[in-house]
Structure 1
Amino acid sequence: MAGASHVVVFLVFSNLAIAMGATPPILNPYVGKCKSSCEEELNISLYLHQVFAGAARNQEVILSPGFPNSFGVIAVNDWTMHATANSTASIIARAKGMHIQATQSQANGFAWFVPFSMVFEDSSFGGSTLQVMGAISGANGEWAIVGGTGKLSMARGTVNFTEVQPQSNPNSENYRKIDIHAFYTPSPAV
């Protein structure tokens, strides 16, 4: 014979099951939909200026373990980005990060692993960032955009780069034309 506690448990669960079946769940009408203006697309070309020697250098080696092929060398960078391949042009953004020589054998050439924050200084995206990572293993290549902040929040995309003729001394600097293609979700206006 069932005790009173069994009957109470049965009634509670029975009523709960009936209540759940009778009342449809409240659904958020925005689930799966954009609550703001959704994604926007960014297509921009800039010139990354890398100065690796001389008084105006914008990178510095912080670790050089002495392995063959400079394996393990780590340098920090604050490369500038301009609208043209001219160091006197206005700075649009800076690549603040590091690069690490990640290839041991000279037969394999070089491969600098490059993670950095592209920090915009211009008026349209000032203070916003793109988080970029990839490798430099030749004159041309591609990096991944793995995030962003500010007006470029939740960015994703690619940066294609091509080394262009340096303007002055090829032994101390170079320029890379970078083509940025990204999607981002701007913050909704409040």
Structure 2
Amino acid sequence: MAPHSYSIAPVQSELNMTLYNKEVYGGRGTNGVTTLVNRGPIGTTWVFSWPVTDGPAGADANVVGHLQGTGVQVATYPDYMWHYSLGLVFGQGSRFNGSTLQIQGTSKINGEWSIVGGTGELAMAKGTVRRTEVSYTGNIRISELNIHVLYTPM
């Protein structure tokens, strides 16, 4: 009888990190556009590519990736709510260069999204992203992203 070969699945890893994103709604450096403006109370849609840094905005913060995706307004009462479909694409200068986290969920500006998948080193990711507004000045919003993820390194 021939021996059977098998492999043992890798163990999951846990990662907690804090990153920051910068949203520019108009003027120089705009990084999101409205693609559909609904005349009703919901349905406005926008597409964006927000830079993600390893520290708050400033000269010493390094861009480690981009949050790229869409947002659709799904409610106005009792609060403005948006449904997001996002990819956090890690780039050069990041420990996870070339990997992604797939993120989605319905939330307010200060809310939580689900991590529903990942690629590269972050394969089979699941977890949460808590987004908290740090500042909103003029047409620029800076948000803190507290990321907690379990993944299976490949």
Q: Output the TM-score relative to the length of structure 2.
A: 0.88
Figure out how many residues of one structure are paired with residues of the other and give that number: 151
**Separation in 2, partners of 1:100, 1:76:** 9
Write out per-residue CA displacement over residues 46-105 of structure 1, whole angstroms, 9 at most, x where no aligned residue: 01111112121110111112213xx111100101111122154321110010101111x4
Asked if 2 retains the 8 angstrom alpha-carbon contact of 1:49 and 1:87, the reply is: no
> Which residue of 57, 62, 67 maps to 1:90?
62
Residue 183 in structure 1 maps to residue 150 in structure 2: yes
Residue 109 in structure 1 maps to residue 79 in structure 2: yes
Counterpart for residue 141 of structure 1: 111
Asked if 2 retains the 8 angstrom alpha-carbon contact of 1:49 and 1:85, the reply is: no
Counterpart for residue 173 of structure 1: 140
**Which AA in structure 2 matches 1:172?**
N
Q: Which has the higher strand share?
A: 2
Asked if 2 retains the 8 angstrom alpha-carbon contact of 1:72 and 1:101, the reply is: yes
Write out per-residue CA displacement over residues 108-153 of structure 1, whole angstroms, 9 at most, x where no aligned residue: 2210111100000134110100000112324x21110000000100
Q: Which has the higher helix share?
A: 1
Asked if 2 retains the 8 angstrom alpha-carbon contact of 1:161 and 1:179, the reply is: yes
Provide the secondary structure at the position in 2 that maps to 1:35: coil
> Which residue of 7, 22, 26 maps to 1:53?
26
Q: Output the TM-score relative to the length of structure 1.
A: 0.73
**Separation in 1, partners of 2:71, 2:132:** 17
Q: Rg: which structure is higher?
A: 1
After TM superposition, give the deviation of residue 171 of structure 1 in Å: 2.7
Percent identity over paired residues: 34
Write out per-residue CA displacement over residues 1-34 of structure 1, whole angstroms, 9 at most, x where no aligned residue: xxxxxxxxxxxxxxxxxxxxxxxxx98765xxx4
**Separation in 2, partners of 1:35, 1:172:** 47
Residue 35 in structure 1 maps to residue 31 in structure 2: no
Residue 161 in structure 1 maps to residue 128 in structure 2: no
**Which AA in structure 1 matches 2:89?**
V
**Which AA in structure 1 matches 2:49?**
D
Query: Structure 1: where are the runs of 5+ without partners?
Result: 1-25
What value does the CA root-mean-square deviation take over the aligned residues?
A: 2.0
> Which residue of 132, 139, 147 maps to 2:103?
132
